[in-house]
Amino acid sequence: MFRSILRALPLRCQLCHHRLEEHRTSWCEACHSTLPQSPRCLRCGLPAPYEIELCGRCLTTPPKWDSLTCIGSYTFPYTTLLHRFKYQRQYWLADELASLIATRIDEPASVITPIPMHWRRRMWRGYNHSQVLARSLAKQLNVDCEPNLLKRVRATRQQKGLDRQSRLTNLDNAFTVSGTLPKRLALVDDVVTTGATLSQVCDLLRSNGVKHIDIYCVCRTPPPQAGRKN
């Protein structure tokens, strides 16, 4: 009902605010054509000079997952769209963001699940944005979404602002398995930076028999210290 009413109203592009003549997406064709994209490593998802199966970093220290698919780096306009989606409850953006991810996935996992949110944070925010995104993505990929395969059993500090080591210790014993896991599974999240959260979850999944793990996210961006020598 709400979506039908929304579609009947005159809408404006979420980026340039010009009126949309058609309501197929939340942004105009001009803005859509300028959405920033860059070639990436298909394993870790970080930017690369050209699309490559394994970058130099992955050859020496591969991530815990097997592949990562994203739209772009955490820069404008994705920062604006994600802020509206996560904090301003513009739920309809989930379909638009999911559609951008879906176009980059050739052979999707048959089951996808969101990164879980602790019940206290979910109560405060009102919903798990990763779950909303996962449901929309599963529908567009025609695969199953199982939102309760994982559970966050310990409230943790927000990862934003923590260094890599602090992020890892912050997540110790934060997750548990609460369902039957398939051999191949895709995890859905909004932004991947250091990958600390996903690494913890991947370790848990591997110990419970998952053989192949894909990551589907909106943004994959290097950590602030990436490329600097200690």
Would you state the pLDDT for residue 229? 36
When comparing pLDDT for 205 and 178, which is higher?
Answer: 205
pLDDT tens-digit profile of 45-103? 999 999 999 999 999 999 999 999 999 999 988 998 999 898 888 888 899 899 999 99
Domains of the chain: 1-34 (no CATH), 37-220 (3.40.50)
Three-class secondary structure of residue 17 per DSSP? coil
The contacts found for 47-53 with CB under 8 angstroms, 24 or more apart, are: 47/73, 47/222
DSSP structure class, residue 160: T
Q: Residue 172: pLDDT above 70?
A: no
Residue 214 has which token pair? 């894909």
E strand or H helix that includes residue 117:
none
Q: What is the mean pLDDT of residues 104-131?
A: 84
- In 26-56, which positions are buried (b, 16+ CB within 10 angstroms) versus exposed (e)? bbbeebeeeeeeeebbbbbbbebeeeeeebe
Would you state the pLDDT for residue 1? 47
Cβ 14 vs Cβ 84: under 8 Å? yes
Q: pLDDT band for position 11 (50/70/90)?
A: confident
